[in-house]
Structure formats: C-alpha cells, structure tokens
Amino acid sequence: MRGITIPPGTPLFAEGDDADSAYLIEEGWVEIFTEQGGRRRSLALVGPGEIFGEMGVIDGSPRSASAATVDLCRLLVFTAERFHAALDRGDPFHVELLRKMVSRFRGAQSAAMEGNDHPRLESSAMGLGYAELAQERDIAEAVQSSRIEAQFQPIVELSSGRMLGYEALARWRRTDNELVAPQGFLPLAERTGLIRDIDFVMARQAMCFAGTLADRSDGPYVNINFSARHFHDPDDIGLATRLTKMLSVTRLDAHRVHIELTESLMIKDPAAAERQLKELSAHGFKIALDDFGTGYSSLSVLHRMPIDILKIDCSLVRDIANSTRARSVLRSIVGVASDLGMEVVAEGIEDEATLHALLELGCHRGQGFHFAAPLHARDILARRNAMAEQQPLNPAAEVGRAGSAPL
C-alpha cells in the first residue's frame, strides 16, 4: 500500500483497463464516468473516506468506468496483490458474500445503463471462497457425524521406555475413508471457530480412552491439545467448567488430564490467560506448554503462569544430537524447568542418538516415532492386552525397552 498526491483533472484509469489497484480517498474528489458515443456521462463524485476501483480488483473484470481527479487528491493505493492477501486471510463466507454483492451491483448497473427493467438471471461460477466454504461444511459435518477421530501417541520415561501417558491427536476420517492429518483441516477449523467443537470431541474421546486404561485415579494420563480460541470468547462458559463435567461422566480424576496449550494464548492476553489457567489448575488439571522453543518463546511466561510441563518442540529436539548450540539451549531449558518445578517432555524423538543426548542433558520424558507413532485406541488396547497375557504375573509388564513401542 502507498500514498499518492495527484493534481486536479488527472485520469486515474479508463473504462476497459485491467483493474490492478483500488483507491481510498484521504482528501479531494474523484469523478467516475463513462463515455458513450463520445458523450461523457458522470456516474458519481466520490470524496474523502470513499473507496473506488475495488470492484474490478475483487472480481477480476476490466474497469467498467473511468476515473479522474476533480481537485488535488491524496489517495491510498491498494494493489490487487495487497487486496487479495487481505481476502485470502478473511473468513471465506465474507469473501463469497463480497463477490456476490459485487456481481449483483454490476448486474444492476448494466441494467440501469441499458434501461432494462427485466429481472436478471443471477448465476456464476463458484468463486475462490467456495472451496473453503465447502471444506468448512465438510468439517462441520465430520464433527457432527463422529468422523473426527483421536489417535494416541505414547509419552514415555526415556530411561526405561515405561509408558506414562498418551497425547491425543486429531484425525479427520473423510467419507471416502481417507484419514486427514491436522494440517489438512485444523488451520481452517481454527479460522472458522470449528476448532472449539473439535477440541471437545477430542477431550471426550481422550477421557474415555483413559478410563478404559485404568481406574479413576490411577494409570496413564492423557494430553489434550486446546486452541487459544477457547480463551478468547467472553461468552464461553469456560474450559474448566466443561472439562469438569466431562470428568464426572467419564469418572476420571483431573490429574490424569493434561491440557496442552501454546504460547500464543499467553502472549495475546496474558491477564486473561493467567486467570483461566489458574482456574484449570485449581480444578486439578495439569497444564503443559506445547511447542516450547519455537516462535516467540518468552521466559517471562514461565514464572507468571501455572505451568506444570514444558513440551520441547521437535525442531529443537531434532538438532541436539549434532549441534552443541542446540544442546546448550536444551540444557538451559531443563535447568530453568527444574528450578521452577516443571517437568520437561521432548517431542519428536526419532532415533537412538537423540534419545541418548536427551538423557545426558537431564531430560527424562519424551515422545516420538522412535518409540511409537500415534495409534488408534483399539490398537493400543489390543497391544496392552497381548502384553498383559504374555506376562500375567510380571508387575513390570508395562515396562518396555526404548525403541520397542512400550504401549
């Protein structure tokens, strides 16, 4: 976007030109006009605060009229690129509405010019926003028809491979049976707010799964990911209230539920985040800070918020076997966490070398493909039952070797 100052009587664009920019008038007046049979017909005089030239940018049509300054004008120029970047970030429903309104306006404008008062037929090719709207509908239907499924990835004690808990990770089973990973649907769910329903669907599945593993207070925990969206709606009845209700239905103790959140929540509105996290904490839920070590990690968040667990992001864990700098960073994080009484969980452990480096740095818990990929609850239960049958008298039946999928 840039600002320009234009003298009076300057043409800005002509009928039939490609629409490459839209303009916001800060000062001055602009005439919009057409020329029919050599006769100039004035359509509008637009002044400060008005936008012109936007329709062609929105629908990609050539200019349907010309524009020229009437007096000295100060204009803000939005290139088509800037405009589309804003549209791409927008709610697809709003974008589609905008396109429809432009198309209707154009229809009405040409009818008025032709003196045509017959009803117009309105139909158009599906706009760009449509694909996203259709996907939003599909995801909403998936939530309603139980097609959002949890997979569970074990979190283990690194020295023994003993399984401590599971992280619930969302998958979308499409009607053609294809399983879609989070990056294929969570960004849109996040933009449209559907993420909140998805998170509660996941929470219910995770708590039921934990309930099948052991009694109320004993046994492995489940980690559930929650979007920052749950914390920004003042009308929301609150995460703590909803989760506590779920606990009583699934007969689980709160300490077996870990709530995973990312720092974006705490940075956007720290005071609100602190209040709500304290409420969750007071109910007995443990709070895990996910993806620590990425983006805008801030140590100040750690002492203000009631955080019990730091989950170190794969991107840092991946480097520690080969990079002394990554090891130094991790060593410091482990030190700070231990001083503050927090647990550290390393994410994305893919090989033996990383595992050993983590143990040397004093990190004792982790998850990753080296131990097990995310699996469906039924597969985990089948494997646990098979292990229990093999070693019915061995109280350490759950103890596996690192790398041997200790489920």
Least separation in angstroms between residue 357's CB and ligand C2E is: 14
Dump the DSSP string for 17-35. ----EEEEEEES-EEEEEE
Q: Which residues of 160-192 are buried (b: 16+ CB within 10 A; e: fewer)?
A: ebbbbbbbbbbbbeeeeeeebeeeebbebbebb
Residue 199 near Mg ion by CB under 5 A? no
Cβ of residue 269: shortest distance to Mg ion, in angstroms?
A: 21
Residue choice 31, 132, 149, 260 for contact with Mg ion (CB under 5 A): 260
Site string for ligand C2E, 234-273 (x = CB under 6 A): --------------------------x-------------
Identify what 368 binds: ligand C2E, Mg ion, none; CB under 5 to 8 Å per kind.
ligand C2E
In this structure, which long-range contacts are made by residues 30-38, counting pairs with CB atoms below 8 Å and at least 24 apart in sequence?
Answer: 30/67, 30/68, 30/69, 30/70, 30/73, 31/67, 31/68, 31/69, 31/70, 32/65, 32/66, 32/67, 33/65, 33/66, 33/67, 33/68, 34/64, 34/65, 34/66, 34/113, 35/66
Q: What is the number of other CB atoms lying within 10 angstroms of the CB of residue 130? A: 14
Q: Which stretch binds Mg ion (CB under 5 A): 92-100, 158-166, 254-262, 398-406?
A: 254-262
Residue from 31, 132, 263, 291 binding ligand C2E (CB under 6 A): 291
154 belongs to the binding site for ligand C2E (CB under 6 A): no
- Cα-to-chain-centroid distance, residue 204: 20
By the rule CB under 6 A, 107 interacts with ligand C2E? no
Q: 354 to 383, contacts with ligand C2E by CB under 6 A?
A: 367-369, 374
Question: Does residue 291 interact with Mg ion by CB under 5 A?
Answer: yes
Residue 149 engages ligand C2E in binding (rule: CB under 6 A): no
Binding site for Mg ion (CB under 5 A): 225, 260, 290-291, 347
